[in-house]
Amino acid sequence: MQSSTPKQPDNTIRVSLIDVQRAIESEAIVPCFQPIVELRTGRLAGLEVLARWEHPEHGLVLPQNFIPIAEENGLIGQLTHQILTKAFFSTALLPEPLFLAVNISPIQLHYLSLPRQIRDAAEDYGFPLKQLTVEITESALVNNLERARKIAIELREMGCQLALDDFGTGYSSLRHLRALPFSKLKIDRSFVESLPYERESRKIVAAVVGLGHSLDMMTVAEGVETEEQADMLLRLGCQFGQGWLFGRPLPAEYIPDMMVAEPRIPSARFSAPAISTAAFGLDAMPAQRLAQLEAIYDGAPMGLCFLDKNFRYISLNRRLAEMNGAPVEAHLGRTVDEVIPTVFPIIEPYLHRALNGEAIPKVEAPKPANNPDYADRRILLSYQPVFDEAREVIGISVAVVDLTEL
Ligand code: C2E
Ligand code: CA
Ligand code: CA
């Protein structure tokens, strides 16, 4: 583990253009690396490169203090080149499937030479482009969509992935999502921050994650600081998280530590509570009542689960987890098809009917064993649509009884 963590920067520093020019000339601005992890397993998935300036007087200076100055004074190209080459140098041997994510300034999306510059820098240090994600903010696309599109397509052709950064803060996101070949959506920190106490944020995150799923994009939540946030994000179906909970941005010498760090599975998820408070809107319940409800859910003589509209497990009790032969946490955020692929085709038509608002009690079905050592079983299933306040179906509750045992 890390022996000492570098001091975190002060973010209220005033620097001059001359200062920034000197910093670029002396290559004092360097990349730091922040882990991006898979929420379900806590495993490292990638690293985001974030620029840091080691200032002789002020200590570590944050990008907000120098990136805008570099952008306004025609220095951003040179600065990006320095950061990228240093980052590629430090991560040339990044094992697959880990990825490196880099930030590109909106201004740079005006230059059709950008893809070539990135390719040249990567090739110089032997960094594989298919492990590179280029992060673009929405503001980069406003008034500049055609050129940005050309650049984006070229980056994709080179093998890079594209991420839409700060998603949800711009004003015409959906148009941009369609126009450019993004494969990742980064959910802005502001939504993550308010997740535990604002129902609206949960709805927005759920909608963004749903959008990501239906457009075949991965979703990455930014600014995850607490286990509660990570837990909620997982239950809302978000795949990746980034934030202080998993690690702060650190210099290149810490990358080996990040790669061998124990996967961080927040304690709440380890003993995954059976009831998802977020999904059921139970967050305002007194803890005692919630605990009672959880005990009933867990002690029920049948398997119970709540699936979202994409048939992902939002919550389930231990009985069902046992029936499916996998721990509770191996279900959360995954689809029925992923967890029990042999059973899914049998129950899929009923799931669709339930999504259309139909309650379907007691349907008997064969349950082919996942493992050839086990015999097939027979199960009895009931499907119940779950409605929100506006009587819209938000998911399905499924109850399962194993008839073989009875
Ligand atoms: P961003 O791309 O949205 O980067 C995420 C920001 O959130 C980073 O701020 C990161 O340090 C911060 N962050 C990460 N986890 C947490 C958390 O749990 N809580 C909180 N409160 N913050 C967290 P940072 O490093 O100050 O960078 C700010 C912005 O500057 C970045 O936002 C990005 O737009 C820009 N930037 C950073 N490095 C570069 C670069 O090399 N080139 C360009 N063009 N822009 C850069
Ligand atoms: Ca970013
Ligand atoms: Ca961001």
**pLDDT value, residue 281:** 53
- Output 12 or 15, whichever has higher pLDDT: 15
What is the arithmetic mean of pLDDT over 162-167? Answer: 92
Task: Look at residues 256, 335, 291, 281 and name the one whose alpha carbon lies nearest to residue 40.
Answer: 335
* 346-375: average pLDDT: 87
Domain range 300-402, CATH architecture: 2-Layer Sandwich (3.30)
The pLDDT confidence band at residue 290, using thresholds 50, 70 and 90, is low
Quote the longest CA-to-CA distance of the chain.
Answer: 80
Q: Is the pLDDT of residue 351 over 90?
A: yes
Measured in Å, residue 220 CA sits from the centre of ligand 3 at: 10
SS3 362: strand
User: In the chain, what percentage of residues exceed pLDDT 90?
Assistant: 58
Peptide bond into 97 cis (omega under 30): yes
Average pLDDT for 47-69: 93
Residues 400 and 380: their CA atoms lie apart, in Å, by 6
Our answer on whether the CB atom of 103 is closer than 6 Å to any ligand 1 atom is yes
**Residue 244 CA: which ligand 1 atom is closest?**
18
Ligand 1 near 166 CB (within 6 A): yes
Q: What is the pLDDT of residue 271?
A: 43
Bridge partner residues of 401 (DSSP)? 380
- Two tokens, residue 135: 């992060």
**Does residue 283 have a pLDDT over 90?**
no
Residue 295 binned pLDDT confidence (cut-offs 50, 70, 90): confident
Domain boundaries, the chain: 17-265, 300-402
Candidates 88, 103, 109, 192: which one to mutate for ligand 1, based on the most atoms within 8 Å of Cβ? 103
For residue 301, give both structure tokens: 């003589």
Which of the four pLDDT bands, split at 50, 70 and 90, describes residue 202? Answer: confident
Query: Is there a contact between 314 and 308 (Cβ–Cβ < 8 Å)?
Result: yes
Q: Per CATH, which fold does 17-265 belong to?
A: TIM Barrel (3.20.20)
374-378: average pLDDT: 78
| Segment 227-235 mean pLDDT | 89
Can you give the pLDDT at residue 10?
Answer: 56
Average pLDDT of every residue of the chain: 87
Given this model, what pLDDT does residue 291 score?
63
Residues with Cβ within 8 Å of 354's Cβ and at least 6 positions away in sequence, in order, are 360, 383, 384, 385, 393, 396
* pLDDT tier at 282, thresholds 50, 70, 90: low
Is 136 close to ligand 1, i.e. is its CB under 6 Å away?
no
What's the pLDDT band for 329 if we cut at 50, 70, 90?
A: confident
**Confidence at residue 216, expressed as pLDDT on a 0 to 100 scale:** 85
Question: 163 pLDDT exceeds 80?
Answer: yes
Cα 87 from Cα 89, distance rounded (Å): 5
**For residue 79, how far is its CA from the centre of ligand 1 (angstroms)?**
16
Return the ligand number nearest the Cα of 163.
Answer: 2
Which range, 137-141, 211-215, 254-258, has the best average confidence (pLDDT)?
Answer: 254-258
Q: Say if residue 311 is exposed, middle or buried (CB neighbours under 10 Å; 0-12, 13-18, 19+).
A: buried
Of 279-283, 321-325, 342-346, least confident by mean pLDDT is 279-283
- Quote the pLDDT of residue 389: 59
Q: Residue 370's pLDDT is what?
A: 67
Q: How far is the CA of 29 from the centre of ligand 2 (A)?
A: 17
User: What pLDDT does 215 receive?
Assistant: 84
pLDDT of residue 150: 94
Pairing label, strands 303-308, 59-61: unpaired
- Output the pLDDT for position 276: 54
Cβ-Cβ contacts under 8 Å for 56 (sequence gap 6 or more): none
Q: 45 CA to middle of ligand 2, Å? A: 15
What confidence score (pLDDT) does residue 335 get? 95
Q: Are 188 and 169 in contact (CB under 8 A)?
A: yes
16 CA to centre of ligand 3 in angstroms: 25
The segment with the largest mean pLDDT, out of 1-15, 31-45, 137-151, is: 31-45
20-30: pLDDT as tens digits: 999 999 999 99
Length of the chain equals 406
pLDDT of residue 3 exceeding 50: no
The response to whether residue 62 sits with its C-beta less than 6 Å from ligand 1 reads yes
Contact call for residues 156 and 184 (beta carbons, < 8 A): no
Residue 391 has pLDDT above 80, yes or no: no
Distance 229 CA to ligand 2 centre (A): 19
Q: What pLDDT was estimated at residue 275?
A: 54
Rounded Cα–Cα distance for residues 129 and 108 (Å): 19
Q: Does the structure show a pLDDT above 80 at 9?
A: no
Query: Is 75 a residue whose pLDDT tops 90?
Result: yes
Residue 284, pLDDT above cutoff 50: no
Reference 246, options 84, 37, 94; nearest CA is: 37
Q: If you average pLDDT over each of 97-101, 108-112, 325-329, 330-334, which comes out highest?
A: 97-101
Label residue 297 by pLDDT band (50, 70, 90). Answer: confident
User: For residues 333 and 121, which has the higher predicted lDDT (pLDDT)?
Assistant: 121
259 Cβ partners below 8 Å, 6+ apart? 44, 95, 98
Is 61 near ligand 1, meaning CB less than 6 Å away? no
pLDDT at res. 331: 92
- Compute the half-sphere exposure of residue 47: CA atoms within 13 Å on the CB side of its CA: 28
Residue 397: CB partners within 8 Å, gap ≥ 6? 304, 305, 306, 307, 383, 384, 385, 386
How close are the terminal C-alpha atoms of the chain, in Å? 51
B/e letters for 15-43, b = 16+ CB within 10 Å, e = fewer, are: beeebbeebbeeebbbbbbbbbbbbbebe
- Does the C-beta of 83 come closer than 6 Å to ligand 1? yes
Q: Cα(102) to centroid of ligand 2, in Å?
A: 7
Average pLDDT of the segment spanning 326-355 = 93
Sheet with 360-367, strands from edge to edge, namely: 313-316, 303-308, 393-402, 377-387, 360-367
Ligand nearest to the CA of 49: 1
